[in-house]
Amino acid sequence: EIAILGLAGGFLTPLLLSTGSDNPIGLFGYILMLDAGLVVLAIQRRWPILISLGLGGTVLYQMGWILGRMDADRTGLGLAILALFAGFFLFAGRWAAAQDAQSEQERRAWRRTQTAGVLIPFAFALYFAGNADLGPHLYPAAILMAALSAAACWLGRAEGFALLPPGAAAGVVAVTMVWTFSRRLTEALSWEAAAVMIALAAIFHLFFELELRDEIADKARHAARAALLPALGFLLLAAVAPVDSDVAFWPWLLAWAALGAMVYRQGEAPGMGWARLGAAVGVGAGFALLLIVHRRAEGFPSAALFLALAALAAVAFQAAAMRRDDGDDPGMAERAWAERAAALYAGILAFAHVVIAESPAMPTWLFLSSTLLFALLITLTATRIPSGRVYFAAMTLASLAHLAWVGFATAPYSEPNARPLAIAFGLTGVLLFTFWPFLAGRTLIAQRGAVYAAALAGPAWFLALRELYEGWLGDSTIGVVPVVLGALSLSAVLLVKRQSEEGAPALRALVWFAAVALSFLALAIPLQLSKEWITIGWAVQAAAILMLWKRLDHPGLKYFALALLGAVSARLLLNPEVVDYHGRGALPILNWLAYTYLVPAAALLVSAGVLRGLEIARARPAESWLYRFGQPVGAVLCSVAAILVVFGWINLTIFDFFSTGSSLEISFDRMAARDLTLSLAWALYALVLLGVGFKRDSGALRWLSLAFLVLTIGKVFLHDLGELEDLYRVASLVGLALSLILVSLAYQRFVFRKGSS
């Protein structure tokens, strides 16, 4: 109690005897002597609480003078006072630790005092950094932080203070961040900030290198984490700091390079391989943000130089990944982390190209070539890992950048030959991503994502290439674009058959490339052709796809063909514009209506034949509900569609025959000869279907023929008897009667007799 009273009296003396004058040297000289006496007393009496209380009193006086009396001219003095007392409490703790008589509890108390003595000045440094009235520069506070950081790292290494280095690291990052965001950084201040960041991070990194050299895994890991906090924190700060500052590329480039190298090196510690991803994010974000925000600003380096330096950094990441050996990281081999870092950096730069595509502020050739370059670097990583997902990401980023440039950019089109140049780069991208898996060996093509990326490269670039081609050469030959892309996919099919072994991966690749090739053919038809030729082309293509499905068992081919056939049927049966395709045919029956309807009908019948024999046998478990009645649903639908298409052709042909003008007219006005012909044609068609049903022993077809016959009966009794007169009415009834007689005879001959047998 007496000691505490003496302590209180000692710290109250300057306040009680104050004359109001400002004499910081005398004041803190007295405080220093008082603290020295407390240290001696605390060691002799083994009262570590005294030095803790002394530290508290010292901090209060520091706060009072720095916050209340210190001005800009005496900033250096304030920093010196903070450094002096931090060093005093640091070495006081070391002196106390050298005393053998102390207990473990006393040692912990001294350690807490040392830790507080080193870390508390960082709080004052925050005040210095955030108060612009104390000066624009960071280096005075940085000198203090450098001394404190070195002391913290030394104590952490010598005394095993595990939390002290990370605490100091957090302090230097916080102080630097406050200073950075509280000032508008000119070029000179940018150089100062970059130098301070590099110097402070280097202090922590130096102690990490010492621990790594000792080859003690736990210590190296702890040192790496302490060093990573300022290195990665400063790297990310250096990446975003230029966004709201004057353009000063070179100091920040130096910071990215030095800090990125430190972070990458810290990934050498056991279990710290993931740190390399931080290096990739920091350096990549720095280049990307500066490009996005300042690419048009005065003082920004030329686009070619900037992208060359960014590409050089990407090559450095690639080289580092290629030289890595597998490490001891139990979660993932070190090389895998390095590979992912290389891909991530290139991916960030490729994404930046997507963002700036609307206004890239660089020549067409540079923008498009740099996009492909960064995508190629990602591809190299995907090949070495190997990873289909990474490969797919590379293709996606490159195609999105090109598509965004074509869709939104306007200025590049003013360049001569911009469109043909862009077409060349687009085709290069398609060629690269379509055929790279075949050049990279079997490991990449075996990846599902790589197959998807290679197959979808053509579709990914199609919209951009179509827009460019149409703007350059017009739309008269626009079908060339899908035909060329489809030919590339077809070439990939041949390569798959030549290089891949039989099995699920090869089948998957074959189906995807074949489906894309066929899709481009389906797309080329409406782009290049018109009217009925779209319908005919789709119908023939659908039949061809089902022929391919017969050899390559993949449900995607089947459903794609059925979708095309559904579109064909809808265009023929539900499209009122079909009658306006052409005028009346020159010949009564053999005219444009014949091939417009009968060729698709034949394709539908061929498709039904292909499906009927294999559809149920090849059904997947997920399709069991579709075939629960044991019927080939696709074949049935194709057959019904073919019957309806032929029926539609019959009706349109009759309307065309009886039309009087130059165009085909569908009129329901009273016309006896036409109405009679329709009734007779319907009845005859029903009889033909019935005959085919008996021939093929198809109950469904017989029922369908009866449906047409009932339709005919309804027409005769509900329409013909009311509208037809004289011999037309008689002929209609006679025709119906003959049809019914033939139907009854056929059923008696082929159905009832067979049933009784």
Q: How buried is residue 133: exposed, middle or buried, by Cβ count under 10 Å (0-12/13-18/19+)?
A: exposed
Domain ranges (residues) in the chain: 1-183, 203-356, 359-504, 529-667, 669-757
What pLDDT sits at residue 368? Answer: 95
Torsion of CA 466, 470, 474, 477, to 10 degrees: -10
Question: How many secondary structure helices (H) and strands (E) does the chain include?
Answer: 29, 0
Note whether 119 and 168 are within 8 A (CB).
yes
Q: Name the CA radius of gyration of the chain, rounded.
A: 42
Report the pLDDT value the prediction gives residue 16, as an integer from 0 to 100: 62
Residue 331 has pLDDT above 50, yes or no: no
Q: Rounded mean pLDDT of 466-495?
A: 91
Half-sphere exposure of 538 (CA within 13 A, CB side): 24
pLDDT score of 603 more than 70: yes
Q: What span, in angstroms and rounded, lies between the C-alpha atoms of 168 and 158?
A: 16
Q: Residues 359-395: pLDDT tens digits?
A: 888 999 999 999 999 999 999 999 998 899 999 999 9
- The answer to whether the beta carbons of residues 609 and 572 sit under 8 Å apart is no
What number is the average pLDDT over the span 657-685?
Answer: 74
CA–CA gap between residue 376 and residue 198 (Å, rounded): 32
Of the chain, the percentage scoring pLDDT greater than 70 comes to: 84
Q: What is the mean pLDDT of residues 242-260?
A: 87
Kindly state the tokens that stand for 107. Answer: 């040692």
Residue 63 has pLDDT above 60, yes or no: yes
- Asked if residues 348 and 284 have their Cβ atoms less than 8 Å apart, the reply is yes
**What is the distance between the alpha carbons of residues 678 and 735, in angstroms, rounded to a whole number?**
11
pLDDT at site 194: 95
**C-alpha span between 291 and 305 (Å, rounded):** 12
Tokens of 688: 């033909």
Q: Is residue 488 a contact partner of residue 451, using CB atoms and an 8 Å limit?
A: no
Q: Cα separations (Å) of 498 from 184, 434, 492?
A: 63, 16, 10
- Which pLDDT value is given to residue 505? 78
DSSP 672-709: HHHHHHHHHHHHHHHHHHHHHHHHTT-HHHHHHHHHHH
pLDDT at 178 over 70: yes
Q: Can you tell me the distance from the alpha carbon of 156 to that of 358, in angstroms, rounded to the nearest whole number? A: 52
* C-beta separation of 275 from 263 below 8 A: yes
d(CA 688, CA 137): 98
Mean pLDDT of 502-509: 76
User: Which helix H or strand E contains 715, and what residues bound it?
Assistant: helix 699-715
Range among 178-187, 594-603, 713-722, 738-747 with highest mean pLDDT value = 594-603
The most confident of 156-165, 349-358, 441-450, 621-630, by mean pLDDT: 349-358
Is residue 749 pLDDT above 60, yes or no?
Answer: no
CB 535 within 8 A of CB 596: yes
Amino acid at 199: A
Burial class (CB in 10 A: 0-12, 13-18, 19+), 105: exposed
Q: What SS3 state is found at 103?
A: coil
Q: Which of 75-84, 122-131, 214-223, 472-481 has the lowest mean pLDDT?
A: 214-223
pLDDT for the residue numbered 606? 95
Which residues, other chains included, contact 633 with Cβ-Cβ below 8 Å and sequence gap of 6+? 615, 626, 627
DSSP lists the bridge partners of residue 663 as 583
Tokens, residue 577: 């514009």
Give the count of alpha carbons within 13 A of 635, CB side only: 17
CA distance readout (Å), 611 to 82, 396, 548, 551: 88, 36, 12, 12
Distance between CA atoms of residues 303 and 316, nearest Å? 20
What 3 state SS string does 123-180 have? Answer: HHHHHHHHCHHHCCCCHHHHHHHHHHHHHHHHHHHHHCCCCHHHHHHHHHHHHHHHHH
Give the residue with greater pLDDT, 335 vs 565.
565
Higher pLDDT, 87 or 308: 308
Per-residue model confidence as pLDDT tens digits over 119-145? 899 999 999 888 877 888 999 999 999
Give 380 or 411, the one with higher predicted confidence.
Answer: 380
CA–CA–CA angle 101, 107, 113 (5° rounding): 135
Highest mean pLDDT among 464-468, 590-594, 753-757: 464-468
Q: How far apart are the first and last CA of the chain?
A: 124
Count other C-beta atoms under 10 Å from residue 25's C-beta: 10
| H helix runs in 160-274, sequence order | 164-181, 187-214, 217-240, 249-266
- Lowest mean per-residue pLDDT among 287-301, 307-321, 408-422, 531-545: 408-422
Q: Six-digit token pair at 54?
A: 């002394």
**pLDDT score of 672 more than 50:** yes
Other residues' Cβ atoms within 10 Å of the Cβ of residue 62: 21
pLDDT at 479 over 70: yes
Asked if the model's pLDDT at residue 237 lies above 80, the reply is yes
Average pLDDT, whole number, for the chain?
A: 84
What was the pLDDT predicted at 327? 45
Distance CA 146, CA 699 (A): 94
Q: Choose among 210, 182, 196: nearest CA to 238.
A: 196
3 state SS of 99: coil
The residue that leads in pLDDT, 331 or 684, is: 684
This prediction's pTM:
0.78
Q: Report the C-alpha dihedral over residues 674, 680, 683, 689, rounded to 10 degrees.
A: -90
Cα 380 to Cα 360: distance, rounded to the nearest angstrom: 26
pLDDT of 69 reads 83
Q: Are 224 and 269 in contact (CB under 8 A)?
A: yes
